[in-house]
Structure 1
């Protein structure tokens, strides 16, 4: 049906689809490990890059188990936002392949169940609720500031520091405090096992083509996933049980999830509801924010002029303000521009995936058959020079000087770091507030510069495009350096550190 409408794409084989061609393209189009800052599409997704050049912004390809319609045409992307989750929803395969990671939570459900879960959870992330979490974010940031200061002071003012885990743990602590009334220390085991699950599932995704069958075989990898899944389930249910016995008036989200689980469900279904939604918040709520924070520091480290501008603003806003508040965060204009530009260059989730759940889905001039997976590559939308201009892949925070709506993009729907349409991420307000607080506090005390040992490298896990982010995998590592900028005497240091 799609080919009759003029949609082209590589010719698939019966069992393997185009996966063998993907592997061949990866081998042929390997680029040097020494990459430019934003030259990464052809490294992560060389097959998508080549096929877009060959067939245009809309093409069809197969993984053997699925037919995928790749869409990056502005008009079709815009149309995605007008379909409901009952018509164009999350792919069915996600419920199976990502069940261990997200359960049956908001991330994977569609239709009435999606509407019900969103109705319960979304109010806990409204702006007024987020304002009440600023102090929690400050409390979580404090230990990181103290740890870095001690390390730097012990080294005479400068030191190389691996900051990836610090920022991931910080973001996890924020989620634990704000959403579950605990702390990272208390929830550390949950976060740790979720990351192990993420790694195990990402490695499993390398078995493309017949991967749908592979995941049901009694392999060591599948057994590991099932074991981790059960361990996380028991840990989350223990958190819920403790919450029932010690009601925390400030922990509205967990209360909302627990109360929502009782709506006509059996005991087992209620447990699944709680575990699924808590998994979604635990994992999705901290991973993407941590990745964005890391990229913010890297971009500021490699653009010292913007770092100085952001620092000057942060120090002016933070001076005499302990703690920060909503009014202070609104004054962080440059810091906000830096965050928005980082999300444009390095969106933490690389793809938007949808599935046509009815027969009447139409995108632009294309009728999409039921069951077709629609894949929208954020990376290509955000670096599309027709939409953003010739400098689309350059770090230019000034393009967001007048906000996202007035960004230097000819089509606003080509900027989708938090999604597009009715499934826009409910946690975006919390993510933006957390990033502002963390960056403001870090910039007020430290400066950052690239380490001499820094190597810009991206690694793809899996060939079917179903990975979360270049930096959200265990194997992808970003190295750069930091150095203490402002000490008690307002002196600047110059020795680089490394993250």
Structure 2
């Protein structure tokens, strides 16, 4: 009996050793594969930080991140320092990129574990990447997989033929002719915000008195109501719980380090899964309610329902079609309202710092909108509002990166990119490059857009607040229209200034947003 147990233990040990050996061999093999890719890039004259065995440059990234965090904690917190030093905030959010850029220039390679990356901030190469229509160049799978709970397989995460199919379906819903028809709903959605702020002032004595407000939640409410109304045929109140849970999930995934594993917190997979199921259940309730209503309104929801029905008739299962609808609803709920709300917050922050631009906007609104309310005809005439928004999106674009992965060996300009390489373009750094924008690249100067983007800088393809090329954000027209309406309405009714409570701390939670919100002092005009 004892010999039997000894034999069984030996057999188990052999199996365990075999499994561990296989895992180790596979790991080493992947590392050598990454090294071969790295050597191919180096042969093209692309340098970069030397990687460590198996972990690549992750130890360097953590060390540089820790150093900048220590420096920031040790320094005196003065939110107004940025008025004098409009530096590229990526030096604090992604300090390793700035550190390496100073060493290796606008094009270099680095690695995270087994994954090889290219940092590309050369204008001509950026143009080539964004104009590439090859379906072999898509969203990076490594990071994309971590965002699956937020976006599913909807248009934001999709690649290849799936992405092309979804874009063909969704993009027409945001063409300018349709967006113009949404202006009335957008103005209605802004009224609760305006009324709330007016009542807040009245409650604190009215007249010319000032009151402090944190604008972020109110702007999210406005943007969420617009998305709810124009895309899904219901009010924000019905979808409020969905927006709330999506925001919780977004922040949790961001804090867990979805980019390179350099997170600030932990997030259990079970918690993510449960929250994801709750969000999908809530969305499907609204979908079923819409189907039961027999509404004849043609909006995004109706288009999704019809597309899903067509796919089902062509052999796709009901579960696939249900997931198709839910995933794209999640995409629009998050991408459609968070980016606009965040950009509106940054816009009001800059206008609070530059009251002369508030005056310019009021003059323009008074000239083209006699009743103080813009419409589809007057909005294109509000050039000052447009310039201000374009400049804010230059300095604080909501998305920090344009990220791509080569699914096959591809040629981009004079660069041969091996299969498996991830390409990263850091948008805010590109937007602040003095060789592209001039010596005043870090200053808030909306007048640079007086003659449009094409005349604003040396390389117009370097302006990427909505991406570019085939992957241009489908909601660009809607987002710009929302921003113009809400900024024009707020500034025409209120004088805004920055509150002493405001703490300037940009942070990347998938999107670049004010970590502590934007605190303003508002006064009725």
Is TM > 0.5 for Structure 1 vs Structure 2?
yes
Secondary structure (helix, strand or coil) at the match of 1:81 reads: helix
Relative to structure 1, the CA distance from residue 246 to residue 460 in structure 2 (aligned partners, 3 Å threshold; closer, same or farther) is closer
Q: Does the 8 Å contact 1:311/1:444 carry over to 2?
A: yes
Query: Where do 1:32-431 residues align within 5 Å?
Result: 32=75, 33-34=77-78, 35-37=81-83, 38-39=86-87, 40-84=89-133, 86-156=135-205, 157-205=209-257, 208=260, 221-262=268-309, 263=311, 264=314, 265-320=316-371, 324-359=374-409, 361-407=410-456, 409-431=457-479
* Residue ranges of structure 2 left out of the alignment (5+ in a row): 1-39
Root mean square deviation, CA, Å = 1.9
Relative to structure 1, the CA distance from residue 200 to residue 28 in structure 2 (aligned partners, 3 Å threshold; closer, same or farther) is closer
Q: Does the 8 Å contact 1:178/1:251 carry over to 2?
A: no
C-alpha separation between the residues in 2 aligned to 1:162 and 1:41? 24
- Considering only CA atoms, is the larger Rg found in Structure 1 or Structure 2? 2
Secondary structure (helix, strand or coil) at the match of 1:24 reads: helix
- Which has more helix, going by share of residues? 2
Alpha-carbon shift at residue 76 of structure 1 (Å): 0.7
C-alpha separation between the residues in 1 aligned to 2:419 and 2:96? 25
Secondary structure (helix, strand or coil) at the match of 2:430 reads: helix
Q: Does the 8 Å contact 2:143/2:258 carry over to 1?
A: no
Q: Does the 8 Å contact 1:318/1:440 carry over to 2?
A: no
Secondary structure (helix, strand or coil) at the match of 2:82 reads: coil
Relative to structure 1, the CA distance from residue 118 to residue 208 in structure 2 (aligned partners, 3 Å threshold; closer, same or farther) is closer
C-alpha separation between the residues in 2 aligned to 1:291 and 1:220? 24
C-alpha separation between the residues in 2 aligned to 1:220 and 1:373? 25
Deviations 1:115-157 (A, max 9, x none): 1111111111011110111111011100000000000111123
C-alpha separation between the residues in 2 aligned to 1:450 and 1:321? 24
Alpha-carbon shift at residue 55 of structure 1 (Å): 0.6
Secondary structure (helix, strand or coil) at the match of 2:284 reads: helix
C-alpha separation between the residues in 2 aligned to 1:209 and 1:330? 44
TM-score when scaled to structure 1? 0.90
Alpha-carbon shift at residue 85 of structure 1 (Å): 5.0
* Residue ranges of structure 1 left out of the alignment (5+ in a row): 462-466, 487-499
Q: How many residues align?
A: 468
Runs (4 or more) in structure 1 with deviation over 4 Å come to: 206-211
Q: Does the 8 Å contact 1:353/1:373 carry over to 2?
A: yes
C-alpha separation between the residues in 2 aligned to 1:51 and 1:95? 24
Deviations 1:311-357 (A, max 9, x none): 221233333265x3211101111001000000000000011110112
